[in-house]
Amino acid sequence: MTSTPLDLEAIVRRIVGEVVAGAVAPKSQPVASANTRLCLIDRPVIALTDVEKRLDGMSEIAVAPRAVITPAVKDLLRAQSIAIVREEKQNTMRTPVAAPAALLVADVDCSNRCAAFAKQLGIRTRRGVQIVVAEEARIVLADLPQRVVCDLCRSGAEAVQVGSLSEVQAVAAAMQPDVWVLDMTRLNVIAATNLATRLTK
């Protein structure tokens, strides 16, 4: 059966007339939703006001394991074939970063000087500073640094004597000693703290 242009025009007019009159409602294409899940994990109680206007296109609702769902919400979800999924909230908290280990310092000649140095160094580096005996220290203050370096080397530690920033830079470029012995005949407490701050970076 072949259709003439007049037949096609009549068919189109009839369909357009029916649509305009409301006899045939145009079928809307279902829109695929990227998110078909309503997430209410943060709420301890799920009430009708929480879900009423938010369920279009949803296939499931996620709630906390111990959340209370009102009977009205359960009925509404059942009527719309929406599943209830109970799940834990994802842990978004950062893992705490461990505090840096305490910096071990010693002064073989003057305990008051060591306390002032440790206090200043702790403030500048924002690290704990612990005063210990010279054999356990990472930084040692000494009026006779050669003797301290000699004693530390005999005990098996790799120690070096420094009295200026240029010496620290030269030694740091060549090696990483176990103990830095600061020559306090050439440094005051502030200068020693400045050097130690560089050493702890």
- For 22-31, the pLDDT digits (tens) are 544 444 444 3
Task: Judge whether 156 and 84 are in contact, CB under 8 Å.
Answer: no
Give the pTM. Answer: 0.47
Per-residue confidence band for 114, with pLDDT thresholds at 50, 70 and 90: confident
How would you label 105-119 residue by residue, b for 16+ Cβ within 10 Å and e otherwise?
A: bbbbeeeebbebbbe
Q: What is the mean pLDDT of the chain?
A: 76
pLDDT digits (tens, 9 = 90+) for 51-100: 888 888 888 888 888 888 888 889 988 998 988 888 876 654 444 444 44
Percent of the chain residues past pLDDT 90, beyond the cut: 5
Q: Which residue has the tokens 């070096």?
A: 160
What is the per-residue pLDDT for 128? 66
CA atoms within 13 A on the CB side of 191: 13
Task: Judge whether 58 and 37 are in contact, CB under 8 Å.
Answer: yes
